[in-house]
């Protein structure tokens, strides 16, 4: 007797399951090199959840479904988890990109009206409807790149009213896109011009006014802990206020100069500490002995044309739980391509294919407290899949410059098809939302 399910995905050239490790928790060291690849793989799905994975022959012998999707020739992975993004912005900053490429430094760009404060002015000028529409477009683009779970930050309003507008735009945009979304309040992203000469007063406003008002619209609070931005003492004040308001913690730290931000994040029990281009040996040791995930953002260093990539090899060998993310934002990493991040991680940080896959699936899921839901293809988890048109899993990192994702599956339903002529049965009209999906879940 076969068991009835809703849908089968069959004949995957390679199905990357990550089921040869625990279904939850971060993966470290040697565990980051095991992917659980099944040739001619298949997935059985019921009510959006994975029932079983195996070879196509095994799954067809045990399950029957009214619908099969033939993924012959494609490599199928768990949907990517992007755990550090800034998609709530109203305008791009290409002018300063070209200034930087021509040799302008940060001060010259700021004097010309660029930098985070440029994004602040655009967000403050935008209406809620305009900001929502733009954010929704950004969220759809994540899906086009096989990203099915996203952590999304505000942080370009830098006032109570404009950070509220940003978080409302994120909430409304997320309701229209089939992503698993986690929202982060980032009022402590920079100091707005009106408080440049009274920074402690702005920290007070963040702690006493913004956090209490905006905590219901967020899951996390983040802070840019860096010399010249928020000091360690100011950062701790923000993070402690956020935790008291029921928010979980994430931290930008040790990007430009070491300031003990990693050690602070670990001591406060943050779920992640991000950037880490200048993490110290003490920071690596603290991270390795904790459940805080080190989120590496190589796209930022690449886009800014700098050296100083995070020491991924030393961190992995020390036992740190390492994740990768796009850091999608208008100023320092304008990409939503996780596969491009893989290439940079391989070439510049010397990470292996296997480590890149783990660092963009189960480890970032753990950093978002979502490892019980996504990040591997263990039975019981959401059936989120990224379907890639590559020869094998070994081509991850090797193939770059385009978008190899031909289809994205969310909760067992195909929601985006980038190249419909691969299989006309997937969609009738190319990249469209599956008609069975009826609304956002987050």
Instruction: Tell me the domains of the chain and their CATH numbers.
Output: 3-78+372-422 (2.30.40.10), 80-367 (3.20.20.140)
Closest CA to 360 of 297, 292, 425: 297
Residues near 25 by Cβ (< 8 Å), separated by ≥ 6? 366, 371
Q: What was the pLDDT predicted at 6?
A: 98
Q: Could you tell me which residue, 438 or 275, shows the higher pLDDT?
A: 275
Q: pLDDT tens across 325-346, in order?
A: 999 999 999 999 999 999 999 9
**For residue 350, how many other CB atoms are within 10 A of its CB?**
13
Give the tens place of pLDDT for each residue, 234-282: 999 999 999 999 999 999 999 988 999 999 999 999 999 999 999 999 9
What's the start-to-end Cα distance of the chain, in Å?
38
How is residue 209 written in tokens?
Answer: 């006014």
Provide the 3-class DSSP secondary structure of residue 110.
helix
- pLDDT bucket at 111, cuts 50 / 70 / 90: confident
What is the full DSSP assignment across 319-385? T--EEE----BTTTB----HHHHHHHHHHHH---HHHHHHHTTHHHHHHTT-TTTSSS--TTSB--E
- 123 alpha carbon, distance to own chain's centre: 22
Residue 38's SS3 state is: strand
Rounded Cα gap, residues 78 and 433, in angstroms: 19
How much of the chain, in percent, has pLDDT values that exceed 90? Answer: 89
Cβ contacts of 223 within 8 Å, gap of 6 or more: 186, 188, 230, 234, 235, 238, 239, 251, 252
* Position 426 pLDDT exceeds 80: no
pLDDT at 26 over 90: yes
192-221: average pLDDT: 97
**Looking at residues 309-314, what average pLDDT do you find?**
98
Q: What are the Cα distances from residue 37, in Å, to 20, 25, 44, 61, 268?
A: 9, 20, 16, 20, 37
The string of DSSP codes covering 165-197 is HHHHHHHHHHTTS--EEEEEEEEETS--GGGTT
Residue carrying the six token digits 């494609």: 74
Q: Quote the CA–CA distance of 334 and 271 in Å, as a whole number.
A: 24
pLDDT at residue 438 is higher than 50: no
Whether 74 contacts 13, CB under 8 Å: yes
Strand partners, 12: 41, 72
Global pTM reads 0.94
Residues 6+ apart with CB under 8 A from 188: 203, 206, 221, 222, 223, 224, 230, 234, 235, 238
Q: Does the pLDDT at position 16 exceed 70?
A: yes
Convert the pLDDT of each residue in 67-99 to its tens digit.
999 999 999 999 999 999 999 999 999 999 999
CA–CA gap between residue 223 and residue 187 (Å, rounded): 8
Please report, for residues 25, 307, 382, the alpha-carbon distance to residue 362 in angstroms, rounded to integers and kept in the order given. Answer: 8, 28, 13
Give the HSE-up count for residue 349: Cα atoms under 13 Å, Cβ half-sphere: 35
Confidence of residue 437 (pLDDT cuts 50, 70, 90): very low
Question: Residue 216 carries which DSSP code?
Answer: G
The answer to whether the beta carbons of residues 185 and 154 sit under 8 Å apart is yes
pLDDT recorded at residue 21: 94
Residues 153-165: b if buried by 16+ CB within 10 A, e if exposed: bbbbbbbeebbbb
| Ordered DSSP codes for 235-297 | HHHHHHHHHHTT-EEEEEESSSS--SHHHHHHHTT-SEEEE-TT--HHHHHHHHTSS-EEEE-
What angle is formed at CA 331 by the lines to CA 328 and CA 335, rounded to 5 degrees? Answer: 30
Q: For the chain, how are helix, strand and coil distributed in percent, rounded to 5?
A: 35, 25, 40
Binning pLDDT at 50, 70 and 90, where does residue 431 land? very low
């Amino acid at each position: 007797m076969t068991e009835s399910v809703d849908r089968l995905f069959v004949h995957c050239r390679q199905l990357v399951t990550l089921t040869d490790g625990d279904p939850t928790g971060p993966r470290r060291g040697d565990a980051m090199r095991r992917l659980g690849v099944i040739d001619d793989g298949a997935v059985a799905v019921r009510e959006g959840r994975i029932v079983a994975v195996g070879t196509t022959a095994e799954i067809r012998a045990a399950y029957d479904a009214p619908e099969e999707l033939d993924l012959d020739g494609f490599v199928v992975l768990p949907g990517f988890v992007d755990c550090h993004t800034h998609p709530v912005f109203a305008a791009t900053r290409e002018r300063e990109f070209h200034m930087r490429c021509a040799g302008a430094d940060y001060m010259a760009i700021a004097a010309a009206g660029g930098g985070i404060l440029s994004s602040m002015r655009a967000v403050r000028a935008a209406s809620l409807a305009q900001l929502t529409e733009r954010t929704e477009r950004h969220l759809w683009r994540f899906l086009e790149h096989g990203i099915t779970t996203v952590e999304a930050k505000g942080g370009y309003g830098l006032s109570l009213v404009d950070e509220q507008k940003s978080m409302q735009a994120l909430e409304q945009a997320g309701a229209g896109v089939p992503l698993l979304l986690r929202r982060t309040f980032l009022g402590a992203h920079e100091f707005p011009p009106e408080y440049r000469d009274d920074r402690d007063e702005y920290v007070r406003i963040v702690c006493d006014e913004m956090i209490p008002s905006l905590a219901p619209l967020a899951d996390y609070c983040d802070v840019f802990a860096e010399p010249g931005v928020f000091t360690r003492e100011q950062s701790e004040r923000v993070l402690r206020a956020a935790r008291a308001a029921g928010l979980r913690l994430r931290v930008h730290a040790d990007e430009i100069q070491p300031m003990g931000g990693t050690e602070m994040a670990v001591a406060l029990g943050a779920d992640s500490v991000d950037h880490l281009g200048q993490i110290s040996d003490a920071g690596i040791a603290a991270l390795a002995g904790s459940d805080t995930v080190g989120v590496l953002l190589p796209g930022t260093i690449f886009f800014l044309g700098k050296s100083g990539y995070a020491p991924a090899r030393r961190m992995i060998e020390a036992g740190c739980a390492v994740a990768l993310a796009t850091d999608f934002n208008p100023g320092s990493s304008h990409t939503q391509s996780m596969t491009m991040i893989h290439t940079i991680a391989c070439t510049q940080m010397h990470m292996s294919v296997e480590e890149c896959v783990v660092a963009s699936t189960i480890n970032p899921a753990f950093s978002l407290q979502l490892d019980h839901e996504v990040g591997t293809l263990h039975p019981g988890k959401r059936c989120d899949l990224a379907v890639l048109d590559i020869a094998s899993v070994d081509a991850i990192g090797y193939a770059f410059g385009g978008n190899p994702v031909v289809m994205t599956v969310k909760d067992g339903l195909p929601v985006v098809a980038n190249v419909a002529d691969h299989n006309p049965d997937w969609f009738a009209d190319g990249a469209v939302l599956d008609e069975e999906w009826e609304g956002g879940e987050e």
